[in-house]
Amino acid sequence: MPKSTRALFAAVATLALSGCVTAVPTTVAGPNPYPAPPAVQVETVPPPPVSGDSLIWQPGHWDWTGTAYVWTAGQWVSRASHGAVWQQGYWTVVNGVWTWVPPHWA
């Protein structure tokens, strides 16, 4: 694939994924009502299911419900394509706001 095509694909993928970011405000008047996400839970990775697809383990993560964090368990997912690299999801602070960056294929 030519470099220009790969660059265009990367730009489109980045724009598509940018709509998946969840923001949780951390700066409001008074005490902060939104705590930092809890530590990631330790998971026992089960054997992958029988599948014709190439699978990769997607670890669990905390989701914000609007009032509390809830744990979403890990799962096996199909690999996007040969050579695709899995980017784990993670919580980070952006401009004083806790932001979930969802997992995705890069």
Q: Read off the pLDDT of residues 49-74 as tens digits, 9 standing for 90 and up.
A: 998 888 888 899 998 888 889 999 99
Radius of gyration for the alpha carbons in the chain, expressed in angstroms and rounded: 17
pTM, to two decimals: 0.57
For β-strands 104-105 and 75-78, DSSP reports them as unpaired
Confidence of residue 99 (pLDDT cuts 50, 70, 90): confident
Q: Considering only 9-13, 35-39, 49-53, which range has the smallest mean pLDDT?
A: 9-13
